[in-house]
Structure 1
Amino acid sequence: MAKRIGITGNIMADQSGPFPGYNRAYVNNDYIQSAAEAGGVPFILPVIQETELLKEQVSQVDGIILSGGQDIDPLLYGEEPLQALRKTFPDRDAYEKELIQTAIAMEKPILAICRGMHMLNVTFGGTLYQDLSHASFAEIKHDQEKDPPLKTHHVSFEKGTRLHSLFGDSARVNSFHHQIIKETASTFKAAAYAKDGVIEAIERTGELFVVGVQWHPEMLTKKHEDMKKLFSLFMDAVGT
């Protein structure tokens, strides 16, 4: 039976062409290819605000990938925006918060990537550092800026987690972020750390597969078998 995977989309405005400023719904193709190669049938879930349509979106898929993107509005976790905050998209925040809650209520597995991990954490009461500069312990370069399939630093996995069962004690990952988790939501546990103490993955307690990773495995699957296995692990949890 086909496993239908919903991938959260984003909106961008055309910068050129016949319709400058015209909004387009999209998702980076690496998410689609990684889900398809792991045996899923990928669908893009566009940002919408109608609750009933959102519930129908979730009901039509078997699992969800939360994709990367903009910073999360700090007002969602009780902070005013600081100087280093970058572009936010409050409508997407509101959509994904409700999407996450609906998916978990319907027992749909979730794999959350980068911003997606932050959204998972904030949805259930966790907080973020709005920029690495606000976390004095963060010393590793966490934004490699280019070369998406290049692995640039190590992460260590906590024993007893799903990710430890897949990767073992450590793995090397890519890195494209300037925000990190400050306080982990009470229903989640940290599953991986960078060597400077930055949380690199979280997992929800309980049987349902709800896993967030800070790096971008979808950019690595073409060259790295271990990241293909991460999508396979997620797919194994879908539809079971």
Structure 2
Amino acid sequence: MGFLIGISGSIIVDQGGRFPGYKRAYVNNDYIESTALSGGVPFILPVLEDEEMIKAQAESIDGLILSGGQDVNPLLYGEEPTTKTGSPFLARDQSEQLLLKHVIDQGKPVLAICRGLQILNVAYGGTLYQDMSDIKEAFIKHDQYNNTSDPSHSIMIKDGTRLHDLYGNQALINSFHHQAIKDVAPGFEVSAWAKDGVIEAIEKQGDQFVVGVQWHPEMMAKKHISMLNLFKLFMEHVQQSAGKKVSM
């Protein structure tokens, strides 16, 4: 049997059709395909409120992918929402923060993507820019409108990081975000920046694989093997982590 990879889900509400107002748990299919292509068994984790159930979610999986989605509620990092912030989903924020902390406390690998990166940072004490227009130095377009599988700008990668081991000094990424990390959470380091200084990736210090990226590698993985390789690296650490657990 393969390794079970939990992918954090969201809720979508039908706006029309036969069941207007009907709520559905979902994740975008690119996450599922990228997980399967890298050797994992994808498993959707719905938004929950009960902490014991969330803890059980964490215990049942071998690794966690935090998916993209809505803006993180600014109240979680000590700010009032400005007119530039979208519509947060507080229940999802709270569910994912608990899930994330249980997974990390259990020593399991985490790959956090786009919003997932932001939740990771906020959960451990970091803050966000509520809109890219709040960053005076930002001159790169960070919300692209071209093909989702195509790169839109480059990033610079810090030597000695997991991303540097994978990509070297630079990589080309896609970009779909209007918020960004402001203050990095204690215990984490920045591993990649855009050329305008916007933070594009962070990694947890120490041996545990906890990597957050601001771009969407799952959208690029079929067309660009380098992005599938990020999922494969994650899976290597999942296998190592699960092996340690079995041998204990």
Q: Shorter chain as normaliser: what TM range? A: over 0.9
Match of 2:181 in 1: 181
How does 1:1-240 map onto structure 2 within 5 Å?
A: 1-240=1-240
Structure 1 counterpart of 2:137, which letter?
Answer: F
Question: Letter of the aligned partner of 1:211 in structure 2?
Answer: V
CA distance in structure 2 between the partners assigned to 1:22 and 1:162 by the alignment: 42
Deviation at 1:147, TM superposition (A): 1.5
- Displacement of 1:146 in angstroms is 4.0
Amino acid at match of 1:71: D
Percent identical residues: 57
Q: Give 5+ residue unaligned stretches, structure 2.
A: 241-248
Q: Which runs of 5+ in 1 are unaligned?
A: none
Partners of 2:202 and 2:87 lie apart in 1 by 24
Q: Deviations over 1:49-77 (max 9, x none)?
A: 11111111111110000000000000100
C-alpha distance in structure 2 between counterparts of 1:239 and 1:150, whole Å:
30
Tell me the matched-pair count. Answer: 240
Secondary structure (helix, strand or coil) at the match of 1:238 reads helix
SS at match of 1:239: helix
* Separation (CA, whole Å) in 1 of partners of 2:128 and 2:53: 29
SS at match of 2:228: helix
Q: Alpha-carbon deviation of 1:145?
A: 2.8
After TM superposition, the score normalised by the length of structure 1 is 0.99
Cα deviation, residue 229, structure 1: 0.6
**Letter matched to residue 152 of structure 2:** T
How far 1:239 sits from its partner (Å)? 3.0
CA distance in 2, matches of 1:93, 1:31: 19
